[in-house]
Amino acid sequence: MIARIVTTLVGIILILYGVIAAISPLPLGVPLVVLGLIMIAAANPAARPLIRSMRRKWRWFDFLVRKIASSSPKRFQETIEETDPEEHKEDEEAEKDKRAGDKKEHGETLNA
């Protein structure tokens, strides 16, 4: 429990520092933001869908996450794999189909 809180706090600090460093001449800000997000996703499973959608939406973000994965500890590598949009494409398509079916059933019960 304490480790999750500490990991989340360190992730938030890295994101804040990364945002500040992004405006500096050194290109260090974006990798720090990415690392902070990965740390938060490692500590909080609820954040993983957000990271997955960010990786799907922004390919440059996905590229940075993959680059950081090669030098990350194993715990963070597992989180990076879990947030990989290519691995979970089938799961999301099945969930969309399920939601569409639920909406259809709900619409039919309202019309009946």
| This prediction's pTM | 0.63
How far is the C-alpha of 7 from the C-alpha of 3, rounded, in Å? 6
111 confidence band (pLDDT: 50, 70, 90): low
Residues 6 or more apart in contact with residue 72 via CB below 8 angstroms: 38, 80
How far is the C-alpha of 37 from the C-alpha of 29, rounded, in Å? 13
pLDDT in tens, 22-59: 887 777 888 888 888 888 888 888 888 888 888 888 88
pLDDT of 108? 53
pLDDT in tens, 57-105: 888 888 888 887 878 788 778 888 888 888 766 565 655 666 666 556 5
